[in-house]
Structure formats: structure tokens, C-alpha cells
Structure 1
Amino acid sequence: MDAEEWDQRYADQELVWSAEPNQFVAAECADLPPGRAVDLAAGEGRNAIWLARRGWQVTAVDFSRVALDKGRRLAGGTEVDWVRADAITWHGEGFDLAVVAYLQLPEVERRAAARGAVEALRPGGTFLWVAHDSSNIEDGSGGPQDPAVLMTAADVVGDVEDLGVEVQRAERVARVVAPGGDHRMGDTGEIAWDCLVRAVRV
């Protein structure tokens, strides 16, 4: 989907994603000392806002103007720098944390986005990638049904391992979802499978 299609999707629904942060982003970032963070493909800003409320100086990047406008409203008085840009071509530097959550792209574009995120980090900065896992089509609930935009943790590690990173975690993780398999937490017992990569730039 291009920016215009995402604009329409965000305009058609009150919230496309949950207002709460992704459970893996919250768990992996909870103990990190606040610094400068970038949330790439931030959407409506649920992770960016959560980080900002925990003391981070956050830049939220997305190519959808509608999503960013909704994020500003959701943030209320919470300060976030909302930047309209494509995660594939965006460049930054000096960040302590780069979060990329559910950016589902074909391999070439995924690699560009992942490398851009790592290259935006200062030494010691944390790279966190969460996405729908390739196995989710057969084994899980919801998510994209196009194998070309799914991936494994090993795929993402392969995208960035030559940039000087220390991989701390790279695995498939289970997420309980509401009916329909969206990003909201549920108690129905339906499982979605995600891939998670956490690494530190050395």
C-alpha cells in the first residue's frame, strides 16, 4: 500500500491500531534509560506516545499525513516530533533507540528500512524490530496473507548484521489476539506469530 492508500485506511477508522503500545515494544523498552528514540512507520503513534510519556525524546516517522495528524491528537500534551517521511528512505543519526513495529515490506524495501534504523543509532543504541512472522500464514491468526511481506527474525538479522550490531534476541514470539487477528490484545486464545529482533549497535 502506498501513502494515499494508508491515508484512506486511517481516515476510514477511528483507530486502525490499539491506543496502547505493542506488548513487545513495551516489554523490551521498559527498562531502557530514556534518551532519543525514533519510531519508524509509527502510524497513529501508539509506541511513540508511550515512549514519550516515559521520558523519551521521540521522533515519530510515517508517510501517512492522516496517521500523523491522528497521532498528534492522541498525544494530547505529550511532546512528540511528528515527521512525514518514508521509513525506507528516512535517515537520522544519534538516536538511542530505533523501533520498527509491523512494517511489512518485501525483502529489498525491508532491508533498506532496517539498515536505516540501525544506521540512525549511536554506538550503544538499541534496535528493536517486531513484525508478522512468515509462519503466521499457516500457524497463526490474522496479519498479512502475502508471503512476500512476511519475514523471520533471521531475515532481519541478515539485513543488518554487517553494520556492527550485537544481537540480544532474535526469535519467533506468540501474541494473543482479539477475534479477527488484529493488533489488539484478546482473550479468545487465538495466537498470532511475530518475529522479534533486539540488537545493540557496537
Structure 2
Amino acid sequence: MNFWDQNFAGTEYRYGTQPNAYLARQAHRLAPRSTVLVPGDGEGRNGVWLARQGHRVTALDLSSVGLDKARRLAQVQGVAIDTQVADLGQWTPAPASADAVVFVFVHLPPGVREAAHRAAVQALRPGGLLILEAFTPAQLACDSGGPKAPELLYTLDLLRQDWGTALDELHAEETTTTLDEGPGHQGPGQVVHGVWRKRAL
């Protein structure tokens, strides 16, 4: 059993069942019935919420245990989502297949991160949106969750390097937030978040 299968074992939802607050604030930017990919969706809180807003969602995660819980959450909330067990380092979504890609606290090591971000950009249709929130290195001083390995933490400059010239920045910042996401994320947190739009060809 991998780390995330262990993390998601049991009936409790590690990061709660409500959507990430930044995603909820930015979701108004999505066109109705958007096709949305949610890599690293774990137990499904963000993908299920997006489906409740009327979007067509595919949730991806390395953990089959998490995705089982995502499907149960969707059933309880009366929506359907597609789920795929996926290693994001080898993720190959169809080009121009998505209206949006959502990364919420998906922390990947160097090499894997760049590959996953390239795949996400390629998956977006022209005009499609990428929405992301992640912890910055300043989170190492906090006890509200997140990885403790510096190489897994993101900065705005790092993300801008990953996107290159493919995406236009609509909103982005490094900031302090208050996390209330199940037992896994509680208290003040140091994050980077943003919304980017894929440039037209």
C-alpha cells in the first residue's frame, strides 16, 4: 500500500468534503458545463464540488483508495465523476481536451512536477483555465499541513517558469491563508495560488 493509500484509509475524509476555498472563489471563471481535469484529487472533494456546479469532471490520483472514496462522495451528493488511477509523472491527457485543469495542493518532486505541468498545459484548449493552490517554502514554519521537504514546495516564480509563454496570468500571488480542510489542513498556511489562461494558437 502506497503512502496515499494509507493516508486515505478509513472512513474519515483526510481533507474534508468541502472544496478548497480558493477554487470556490475562482470557479466563477469557468464556463457552464466545462470539461475539468483534477489531477491529484485524492478523496474527491474538489472534483465532486465541481460536478455539483454542473461541470464534467475527471478526477485523477495515484491512490485507488482515495478515488473509491471520491466515487462514494459523488454518489452521496448526487453527481457523477469519472476517476482514473494515474501517476502524474507519466500522465498523458489528450491534447486540447479540457476547458480547465485544477491543481489543489498537488506537490510533486522536480522532474515529475515539470512533466505534469507540461501535460496540463497541453491538455487545455485555447482559452482554457488552469487553477492552482499549493504551499510555499514559508509553510515549513507552519504546522497546518503540507510536505516538509523543501523541494516539494512551490513559488510563484517556479510556476511561471513551468508555464513559460503558454499561459497568460489572470491572478496570482503568494499569501497567508487560513486553512479549514478536514484534519489534514488546519490553521494558518503559506500558499501560492493563481489562475492562468492558455493562449490562443
TM-score (norm 2): 0.88
CA contact (8 A) 1:140 1:193 kept: no
Matched, 1:133 2:130: no
Choose 106-115 or 68-77, whichever is displaced more: 106-115
Task: Give how far 1:31 is off.
Answer: 3.7
Task: Give how far 1:170 is off.
Answer: 2.3
Matched, 1:195 2:161: no
- Match in the other structure for 2:51: 52
Among residues 96, 99, 103, which one is paired with 2:102 in the alignment? 99
Among residues 157, 162, 183, which one is paired with 2:160 in the alignment? 157
Runs of 4+ in structure 1 off by over 6 angstroms are none
CA 1:180–1:9: 2 relative to 1, 3 Å: closer
Say which structure, 1 or 2, has more relative contact order (CA 8 Å, 6+ apart): 2
Unaligned runs of 5+ in 2: none
2:114 aligned counterpart, secondary structure: helix
Task: Give how far 1:181 is off.
Answer: 8.1
- Structure 1 segment 158-197 matched on structure 2, within 5 A: 158-162=161-165, 164-177=166-179, 182-184=184-186, 190-197=187-194
Provide the aligned length of Structure 1 versus Structure 2. 194
C-alpha distance in 2, partners of 1:5/1:42?
15
Q: What amino acid maps onto 1:165 in structure 2?
A: L
Task: Give how far 1:50 is off.
Answer: 0.6
Task: Give how far 1:8 is off.
Answer: 1.6
CA contact (8 A) 1:59 1:81 kept: yes
Please report the RMSD computed on the Cα atoms of aligned residues, expressed in angstroms. 2.1
Unaligned runs of 5+ in 1: 185-189
C-alpha distance in 1, partners of 2:23/2:181?
22
Task: Give how far 1:191 is off.
Answer: 1.5
- Match in the other structure for 1:37: 36
- Match in the other structure for 1:187: none
2:130 aligned counterpart, secondary structure: strand
CA 1:84–1:179: 2 relative to 1, 3 Å: closer
CA contact (8 A) 1:143 1:181 kept: no
Matched, 1:81 2:82: yes
Matched, 1:19 2:17: yes
Task: Give how far 1:141 is off.
Answer: 4.0
Identity over aligned pairs, percent: 35
- Match in the other structure for 2:111: 108
1:30 aligned counterpart, secondary structure: helix
Task: Give how far 1:136 is off.
Answer: 1.4
TM-score (norm 1): 0.88
Q: What amino acid maps onto 2:193 in structure 1?
A: L
Task: Give how far 1:15 is off.
Answer: 1.0
CA 1:115–1:79: 2 relative to 1, 3 Å: same
Q: What amino acid maps onto 1:67 in structure 2?
A: G
CA contact (8 A) 1:174 1:193 kept: yes
C-alpha distance in 1, partners of 2:182/2:17?
17
C-alpha distance in 2, partners of 1:169/1:49?
24
CA contact (8 A) 2:101 2:120 kept: yes
